[in-house]
Structure 1
Amino acid sequence: MKIGMRNIKTSISVVLCVILFELLNREYPFYACIAAVVTLQSSISDSFKAGQNRLIGTAIGATVGLIFSYLPQFNFWVHAVYIGLGICMVIYLCNIFNKNDSISISCIVFSAIMTNLKGVPSYIYVINRTVDTCIGIIISILVNKYFNFKFFNKFK
């Protein structure tokens, strides 16, 4: 079995995310790498659609997460209840906006915000994760569009 172009393009996208984050001195390439892997599909139009769903899901999950992060955190049990209520709200909003393909990532982003805020203001965390996601989406769409067999044939 040979290695296919989607495999190669996904690998290139992830490597470019890591390199770009190093050059920009951004802290967490992980989030861009996730977006790149999820976004890169077998066609450019499918990649664009996957990127759009990823971005919409990130926006919904981040918005609800930001709102819930400002609720009073009395103790662990209240925080856990907030997480459950927030997940319900995220899924409900995705359904209302007819964005069912964004539900999973919305829930993941919401959960990341509610469980990873350790000494970082929530709005900063939300902005950084959204920017990181956009970087990964853009890189994978560009790689999918411009890296093809013709590109690789130049190096033979």
Structure 2
Amino acid sequence: MFVIIMEKTMEKKNKKIKFLGMRVIKTVIAVYLCFLISFIRKTSPFYSAIASILCMQNSHDNSFKVGKNRMIGTIIGGLYGLLVIVGIDYINVELFSPIYYLILSLFLIPIIYTNVYCKTASSTYISCVVFLSITVSHIGDASPTIFALNRIIDTLIGILISLLINKTL
């Protein structure tokens, strides 16, 4: 038994460690392009860079599937987030109060239902994440509406860059 364990340990040591595969290189290029575009647009590169990382897969087909789900989820979550921040402002609900959090929690129902209705259940999680990132993290910004729209645009930029890089390299 001891000999078998030692042989397996030695086999593992003899295997070469891959360091830089094409997926790593493509991811680095995609993130850098997101940084450059954000620099030109004078926005934060955070959302586009994250989207490009998450969408970079081992093949263009897999990246396209992930990117499509992320794009659909971002649009649904972003539109609901925009609706809520405009509505909250209109009805004058105090931000970050128990009633505010109740409204946000209840809005997860139509977000989830919209994804299921559109037959895009696999994008539900990202719809909820985008919605909450808009309504919880940045509602106090000078212009929450502009913030929400920019988050949608930033994420779409990251997805498109990732798909383009994965297709061409």
Match of 2:127 in 1: 106
User: Does the aligned pair in 2 maintain the 1:73–1:79 contact within 8 Å?
Assistant: no
User: What percent of counterpart residues are identical?
Assistant: 37
Aligned equivalents of 2:111, 2:52: Cα separation in 1: 23
Match of 2:22 in 1: 5
Match of 1:151 in 2: none
1:34 is matched with which residue: 31, 50, 53? 50
Structure 2: give runs of 5+ residues left out of the alignment: 1-16
Aligned equivalents of 2:93, 2:145: Cα separation in 1: 20
Query: Rg larger in 1 or in 2?
Result: 2
Match of 2:33 in 1: 16
Match of 2:8 in 1: none
How much does 1:82 deviate? 1.1
**Map of 1:67-146 to 2, 5 A cutoff?**
67-69=83-85, 70-71=87-88, 72-75=91-94, 76-115=97-136, 116-146=138-168
Match of 1:154 in 2: none
Structure 1: give runs of 5+ residues left out of the alignment: 148-156
How much does 1:124 deviate? 1.1
How much does 1:73 deviate? 4.4
CA RMSD in angstroms, aligned pairs only: 1.4
* TM-score, with length taken from structure 1: 0.86
* TM-score, with length taken from structure 2: 0.80
2:65 is aligned with 1:49: yes
How much does 1:88 deviate? 2.1
